Amino acid sequence: MEEGNLTSPAMDGGKRVREFEELLKGYLKVKNVVAVNSGTSALHAGLLAAGIGHGDEVLLPSFTFVATANAVMATGARPVFVDILPTDYTADPIDIERKITDKTKAIIPVHLYGHPASMNQILEIREKHSLLVIEDACQSLGSSYFGRQTGSIGNMGCFSLYASKVLTAGEGGAISTDDDDLANNLRMIRNHGMVEGYDTRVLGLNMRLPEISAAIAKVQMQKLPRILELRRKNAKLLHQLLGAVNQRLSLKLPIEPNGLSYNWYLYTVTIYNKRDEIKKQLNNAGIGATIYYDPPVHMTPYYSTISDGIKLENTEMASKDVLSLPVHQSLTEVEIRFIANKVVEAMDN
pLDDT single digits (tens) 1-50? 888 889 999 999 999 999 999 999 999 999 999 999 999 999 999 999 99
Distance between alpha carbon 214 and the CA centroid of its chain, in Å?
A: 19
Please check whether residue 137 is in contact with residue 33, taking contact to mean a CB–CB distance below 8 angstroms. no
- Greatest Cα pair distance, the chain, in angstroms, is 66
What's the distance, CA 21 to chain centroid?
18
Q: In what order do the strands lie in the sheet with 322-325?
A: 251-252, 267-271, 322-325
Domain boundary among 220, 237, 257: 220
Within-domain flag for 204: yes
Rg (CA), the chain: 20
Q: What CATH code is carried by the domain that includes residue 229?
A: 3.90.1150.10
Which pairing describes strands 132-136 and 156-160: parallel, antiparallel, or unpaired?
A: parallel
* CB proximity list for 247: less than 8 A, separation 6 or greater: none
pLDDT score of 244: 76
For residue 1, tell me if it sits in a domain.
no
Select from 21, 24, 3, 1 the least CA-distant residue to 11. 21
pLDDT of residue 145: 98
Q: How far is CA 135 from the centre of its chain?
A: 8
- From CA 80, how far away is CA 78, in angstroms rounded? 6
Beta bridge partners of 79: 58
- The tens place of each residue's pLDDT in the chain, 349 residues long, gives 888 889 999 999 999 999 999 999 999 999 999 999 999 999 999 999 999 999 999 999 999 999 999 999 999 999 999 999 999 999 999 999 999 999 999 999 999 999 999 999 999 999 999 999 999 999 999 999 999 999 999 999 999 999 999 999 999 999 999 999 999 999 999 999 999 989 999 999 999 999 999 999 999 999 999 999 999 999 999 999 998 776 555 899 999 999 999 999 999 999 998 999 999 999 999 999 999 999 999 999 999 998 888 999 999 999 999 999 999 999 999 999 999 999 999 988 8
Residues 112 and 46 in one domain: yes
Pair (251, 124) in one structural domain: no
Q: Are 107 and 256 within one domain?
A: no
Overall number of domains in the chain: 2
The reported pLDDT for the residue numbered 309 is 85
CA atoms of 92 and 256, how far apart (whole Å)? 17
Amino acid, res. 53 = G
Is residue 7 assigned to a domain? no
Pairing of strands 57-61, 104-107: parallel
CATH number of the domain enclosing 46 = 3.40.640.10
Instruction: Assign residue 343 a region (left: φ > 0; alpha: ψ between -120 and 50; beta: otherwise).
Output: alpha
pTM (2 decimals)? 0.97
Q: Determine whether 308 is exposed, middle or buried from the number of CB atoms within 10 Å of its CB (0-12, 13-18, 19+).
A: exposed
Query: Domain check: are 250 and 317 in the same one?
Result: yes
The domain boundary residue, chosen from 220, 246, 267: 220
Residue 123 lies in a domain: yes
* Structure confidence by residue, pLDDT tens digits, 66-112: 999 999 999 999 999 999 999 999 999 999 999 999 999 999 999 99
What 3-state class would DSSP assign to 35?
Answer: strand
Contact yes or no for 264/142 (Cβ under 8 A): no
Sheet holding 78-82, edge to edge: 32-36, 173-177, 156-160, 132-136, 104-107, 57-61, 78-82
CA angle 84/88/90 to nearest 5° reads 40
**pLDDT score, position 85:** 98
Residues spanned by the domain of 80: 15-220
Residues 56 and 150 in one domain: yes
The two counts, helices (H) then strands (E), for the chain are: 11, 13
Is the domain of 276 the same as that of 172?
no
User: Would you list the DSSP string of 68-129?
Assistant: HHHHHHHTT-EEEEE-B-TTTSSB-HHHHHHT--TTEEEE--B-GGG----HHHHHHHHHHH
